[in-house]
Structure 1
């Protein structure tokens, strides 16, 4: 089973570096057939310069493990473009936010699909990709391959390049746990132009509490476990990533689209299904959209 990595973003480039180091059979599908030469700097300081081999969609053969470490809003366009060339491949979605699973399943209902959450800390500056911290990954199947050997091979490969990695029979609670954190840290740091750690300051606590309470109410309404852990988990992440700037902060700073529709926007859609109002999350969603415009 060959690995195909879609894109040369920070995480995609990090996965390519790990494939290169481990000697795994892989190729990268870029926006064009001309890929960047990557200068990889591992957390321990090891360096590696390499040029991944390019792959075009029409060159897919059917036995690939396709990894999409993209922005959430890039998933549907990417999968739509790949659809004419997909047969029996296995696919992994690896991004912030939620909502892409249903989009992909509607497009490709029979394709084996895995969902992932990663805490890999990677900074990409032009062609230099630096591993700034060691974080694990959590994976789970939305639809496992019918062939047991294919499933085991996919799990082995993903566990190798996303190490430390843990597989779960139910990935949704972990997705919601991360979503609850992202829905506070990402928009607030983007709007106030601050690092994650600055959210620990007193002036943000009332707003954070209101946001946490809205998420907890929604999770309880959806019977998602872990609502009571949101405040402590959020405080832990703010402390652990104090010097970091969130991805949404960076997107807003550099005038790029954000994943707000798949983070706070996803919360609003789920709340609407239950007839709940999330005024504080709605306000953040509106402000990020206004900032983007």
Structure 2
């Protein structure tokens, strides 16, 4: 029995194709009352309704093989919900976009029982029990641990999904990562279909990102490095009419896969000391457009006094030498006052004499978002909390330390947690 965790577009497509091939499968669901017995799949030529079995999360029988089709932000919660149904022999096939999901999966099953699937089939969800199969592709399945082909591979290959075993699944996932990291956030920022990115007005930024990713692939000695531009253009043409999943998520106010796609890539580039200026700017611009904790940040800001609200939400500025943290030298972390995300620590703080708390580096490069500011007749770089979008201050390149950077931050934008 193949269990499918996640009844989204890909989960439903998988269930339809396995059922069509007479392979036993079932959805793992939270509440039986929310699901019907009939599931509809539409193609360009036909529509078919199938009966697909369901099993509730709360059931107690052990699950031997689970195709995990939830999106990456829901992965930990989804696996935790069936933890009581897993044992040391349970195997997972992870269908998430992006990379790094093994770190979550290892909390629930042995590392050798984790497999990865790279899917290029196109499908979108019409309703809770209906999908449209929009384009045929393929599925490559493999392991990061040089595991032999599993016994269940034959079942997947018997379904009409063009399934193949990959001995180099990490390279396959990296290629998809370098493609998605360009297309998905760009289309989300510009609120457009994938194919619209081929327009002249988007070409400079598109090509800059493709070139940077190609150079990184070359530095990693990946065999597709020289053809990455062609591959990305082919994907854009093939999916020209698609609104990609990241754009759909932001339009539906759902968590996106930005961390597992672009976040993972930036961490990888940082570890390899690769200059990723265009990718960092893309990360920043995406978080300015769609800060994931914006709602929480605004809600907390509504409890502030007028000055603190004006500073954090309307880019105001406190008077110099008046802030709580200007002359503050305790050991600990400086947090965003609106969402509690860690932004700086005491190791990066220094006295610049400017009258506002100053830091020569952020706690990490993902913590801060940057935006051009031409107000008051000046050209400056505004800094914002990347998680909630609250205004922090500005950053300048006149820092006296080895970083050469001075983050000039309003005390009103910060909270502090002391470390003993």
TM superposition score normalised by structure 1? 0.89
2:146–2:167: 8 Å Cα contact kept in structure 1?
A: no
Partner of 1:9: 8
In the alignment, structure 1 residue 259 sits paired with structure 2 residue 260: no
Counterpart of 2:144 (choices 134, 138, 142) is 142
Runs of 4+ in 1 over 6 A off after TM superposition: none
Structure-2 residue corresponding to 1:205: 203
Higher mean C-alpha displacement, 32-41 vs 275-284? 32-41
1:39 correspondence with 2:58: no
1:282 Cα offset (Å): 1.6
Task: Give the 3-state SS of the residue equivalent to 1:230 in structure 2.
Answer: helix
Deviations 1:156-215 (A, max 9, x none): 122234621111111111111111111111011111111111111112121112111222
Q: Which has the higher strand share?
A: 2
Distance in 2 separating the partners of 1:106 and 1:49: 35
Q: Please name the residue that 1:235 is paired with.
A: 233
More helix by share: 1
Partner of 1:131 in structure 2? 133
In structure 2, relative to structure 1, the CA distance for the partners of 1:84 and 1:224 (3 Å cut) is farther
CA distance in 2, matches of 1:60, 1:209: 51
1:1-293 to structure 2, matched below 5 A, reads 2-37=1-36, 38-56=39-57, 58-62=59-63, 64-87=64-87, 88-105=89-106, 107-126=108-127, 127-143=129-145, 151-152=150-151, 154-161=152-159, 163-293=161-291
Quick one: distance in 1 between partners of 2:90 and 2:160? 19
Partners of 2:33 and 2:158 lie apart in 1 by: 27
Tell me: CA distance 1:59–1:23, structure 2 relative to 1, closer, same or farther (3 Å): farther
* Superposition deviation, residue 230 in structure 1: 0.9
Deviation at 1:241, TM superposition (A): 1.0
Shift in Å, 1:12 = 0.6
Contact 2:32/2:56 (CA < 8 Å) preserved in 1? Answer: yes
How high is the TM-score relative to the length of structure 2?
0.64
Q: Is the 8 A contact 1:112 1:143 kept in 2?
A: no
- Partners of 1:137 and 1:162 within 8 A in 2: no
- Does the CA contact (< 8 Å) of 1:268 and 1:281 recur in 2? yes
Structure showing greater radius of gyration is: 2
Native 8 Å contact 1:18 1:161 kept in 2: yes
Query: Contact (CA 8 Å) 1:91, 1:111: kept in 2 or not?
Result: no
Q: 2:193 and 2:138 mapped to 1: Cα distance?
A: 22
Residues 223, 104 of structure 1: CA spacing in aligned structure 2 closer, same or farther, 3 A cutoff? farther
Higher relative contact order (CA 8 A, sep 6+): 1
- Classify the secondary structure of the residue corresponding to 2:143: strand
* Unpaired segments ≥5 residues, structure 1: none
CA drift of 1:285 comes to 1.7
Residue 269 of structure 1: CA displacement? 0.5
The CA RMSD over aligned residues, in Å, is 2.2
Aligned length: 287
CA-to-aligned-CA distance 1:17-66 (integer Å, 9 cap, x gap): 2233222222211233335332222453141143532233543325x210
